[in-house]
Amino acid sequence: GHPTFFEVVVVVALLCFAEANCDLVIWETGLGGRLDATNIVSPIASVITTVHLDHQEWLGETTAAIAAEKAGIIKQGAPVVTGVDDEEAFEVIRQAASAQGGELIRTTQADLGRSPVRNLNLTLLGEHQRRNAAVAAATVEALQSAIPVTEAALISGLESARFPGRFQEVHADDGGVVILDGAHNEAGVDALLATLRSRFPDQRPMFILGMLADKAWPAMCGMLAKEAECIHLAALASERSADAELLAAACESGNPGIPALIAANAAEALELSRDSRLRVVTGSLRFLGEAMQALGLTDHKAIDEKGLNDYSAA
């Protein structure tokens, strides 16, 4: 009988954009798309980067079902740009685009070898970010008639892009490195591990891990444990936090014998692991926020989210 916190924020954002008389708004969905509060706009283009399993309790248990929810943002006559490589998911998006009469543009691995993506010097690290850049470049190209952008401006924009918490490297005075990456599903963990192998091929990282209980944490713990030198587990300052002892058990199950140590919070885990040369903080963007505060990277204060859950079941 009342709007959710997220729905209120959506309205506030729209009012701010209207008052600012914005020339262009990049409007990201909160969850899925079809039933998301953001889906009241009529976009000049719809972009679906990838489709992976996440939020299954709301979006469906298969990539095709999730793609159908995401395809709900496709609107009549507007071009659709996607980097989806899952064929079942792509077919759902293709049918939705066809039904709405919009041009469908799909980026593939081949686009990474073409200009302008081929020669980009991205500050965002990882092969997945290069694929994201290809989707962004294709979107700009699709909108050239409405919003002309030179190739030089496109390259400058992509190369200067910053995204805190996405394989963000923090270098300490003693030469140690802390990686902050908000991987919170299995696809995100895959991307994180691939980038770690590429950047630090001869090192096994110390993971500092905190997760939300509604995520696929048993699988993610197993994936991370296989690559770890040691793992520190901590709870988030949230009622939705996964239990640190359960996370530790999942890590030990995934790699028997690995040290799985429990800390009170992200700050304590960082302190306990300070002698490690390569530390990776991951598992949840909320957890990253707590770690950033402990590292002095932000003055953001944790919000007491009791009663402010963005999404609640109908």
| Structure confidence at residue 299 (pLDDT) | 56
pLDDT above 70 covers what percent of the chain?
93
pLDDT of residue 262: 96
* Distance in angstroms (rounded) separating the CA atoms of residues 54 and 223: 16
Q: For residue 267, how far is the Cα from the chain centroid?
A: 23
Is the model's pLDDT at 165 over the cut of 50? yes
The average pLDDT across 31-58 equals: 87
Helix (H, G, I), strand (E, B) or coil at 150: coil
Residue 260's SS3 state is strand
Instruction: Examine the pLDDT at 82 and tell me if it is beyond 50.
Output: yes
Q: What is the pLDDT of residues 90-111, one digit of tens each?
A: 999 999 999 999 999 999 999 8
Residue 69 has pLDDT above 80, yes or no: yes
305: Cα separation from own chain's centroid: 21
CB 263 within 8 A of CB 232: yes
Whether 280 shows a pLDDT value over 90: the answer reads yes
Alpha helices in the chain (DSSP H): 5-20, 56-59, 63-70, 87-100, 127-142, 151-159, 186-199, 217-225, 244-254, 266-272, 285-294
Confidence (pTM): 0.82
Q: How many angstroms separate the CA atoms of 282 and 193, rounded?
A: 11
How many C-beta atoms lie closer than 10 Å to residue 38's C-beta?
Answer: 19
For the segment 174-189, the average pLDDT, to the nearest whole number, is: 90
Q: Over 50: is that where the pLDDT of 234 sits?
A: yes
